[in-house]
A and B are shown apart, each in its own frame.
Chain A
Amino acid sequence: MLTLKDVDAYYGNVQVLRGMALQARAGEILCLLGRNGAGKTTTLKTIMGLVRAQTGTITLDGEDITALPAHSVPVRGIGYVPQGRRLFAEMTVAENLEIGLMTRGRGRDVRERMLDLFPVLRDRLKQVSGTLSGGEQQMLAMARALCLEPRVLLLDEPTEGLQPSMIALIRDVVTQLKGGDTAVILVEQRVEAVLSVADRVLFIENGAPRETVDAATLRADPALVQRYVGVG
Chain B
Amino acid sequence: MDFLSYLPFDLPHPALLLAGVLEGTVLAAVLALTALGLSIVFGIMRVVNVAHGEFYMLGAVLAWFVTTWVAAVTGGPPWLGFAVALVIAPLVVGAIAAATDWLVLKRLNYDPEATIVATIGILYIIQQLALTFYGPYARPVEAPFDFRVATPYFGYSGYKLVVVGAAIALMLVVWLVLTRTRIGLVMRATQYDRETAQAFGIPVDKVYAGVFALGAGLAAIGAVLIVPIRQADYLMGGDPLLLSFIVVILGGLGSLRGTLVAALFIGLADGLISTIYDATLAKILATLLVAMVLVFRPQGLFGARAA
Contacts and interface: CB of A to CB of B under 8 A. Distances in A.
Interface in A153-212: none
Given A82-B196, A86-B196, A88-B196, A99 B203 contact: no
B198 A50 contact: yes
B46 to A, nearest CB: 15
B182 interface: yes
B200 A86 contact: no
Q: Name, among A75, A88, A104, the residue most crowded by chain B CB atoms within 10 Å (CB to CB).
A: A88
Q: Which of B196, B198, B201, B203 has the most CB of A within 10 A?
A: B201
B18 interface: no
A90 B185 contact: no
A71 B192 contact: no
B201 A88 contact: no
Interface in A1-41: none
A48 B201 contact: no
A72 B200 CA distance: 9
A103 interface: yes
A98 to B, nearest CB: 6
A80 B182 CA distance: 21
A72 B202 CA distance: 8
A144 B200 contact: yes
A88 B189 contact: yes
Interface string B184-208: 0110110011011111111110000
A135 interface: no
A99 B193 contact: no
A103 B200 contact: yes
A90 B182 contact: no
B198 A71 contact: yes
Interface in B2-61: none
A70 B226 CA distance: 42
A72 B205 CA distance: 12
Interface of A: 48-50, 69-75, 80, 82, 86, 88-91, 95, 98-100, 102-104, 144, 148
Given A71-B204, A88-B196, A90-B188, 4 more contacts: A71-B201, A88-B193, A91-B189, A103-B200
Leading 5 A-B pairs by shortest Cβ distance: A103-B201, A70-B198, A86-B196, A88-B192, A74-B201
18 contacts: A48-B198, A50-B195, A50-B198, A70-B198, A71-B203, A71-B204, A74-B199, A74-B201, A82-B196, A86-B193, A86-B195, A89-B192, A91-B189, A98-B185, A99-B185, A99-B200, A99-B202, A103-B201
